[in-house]
Amino acid sequence: MATIEQTALYVRSKNAGPFWLTIDIFCTNDESFNILKSSKNITPQVFARIFLVEPEKVKIFFLEKLKVIKISMPRPAVQGCAYERDMHCGQQYTRILDLEV
């Protein structure tokens, strides 16, 4: 079965302020976008389990015209705190690349 990494054109993560993390999944066409959109692994419950947040705090937006899926959630640690290990959240996307779609 294909993974997010194999289906998407590009995946990135970044901070959305000091308290939120955003992951963007870019697709090249409607087919790959629809595969990802209908995946059983693109859900708040899956992302909550991976990123250790409450499912009701995970927001998923399907931007059909742009062929982008945007996932936003509270950061695991506040930006710049003593236990924070990825100041700009630039490496957080790697946790989802191997999810099957």
Q: What is the pLDDT of residues 44-87, one digit of tens each?
A: 999 999 999 999 999 999 999 999 999 999 987 778 777 777 77
* Claim: this prediction has a pTM higher than 0.85: yes
On whether residue 60 sits in a domain, the answer given is yes
Domain count, the chain: 1
Q: Give the pLDDT of residue 89.
A: 81
| Structural domain containing residue 45 | 10-77
- Residue 59: inside a domain, yes or no? yes
Do the Cβ atoms of 21 and 74 come closer than 8 Å? Answer: yes
Q: Would residue 99 count as lying in a domain?
A: no
Q: 64 in a domain, yes or no?
A: yes
> How many other C-beta atoms lie within 10 A of the C-beta of residue 96?
22
Q: For 2-40, what is each residue's pLDDT tens digit?
A: 999 999 999 999 988 889 999 999 999 999 999 999 999
Q: Is residue 4 part of a domain?
A: no
Q: Is residue 41 part of a domain?
A: yes
Cβ-based neighbour number of residue 82 at 10 Å: 6
Tell whether 40 is covered by a domain: yes
Q: Is residue 90 part of a domain?
A: no
Task: Find out whether 94 and 21 touch, Cβ atoms under 8 Å.
Answer: no
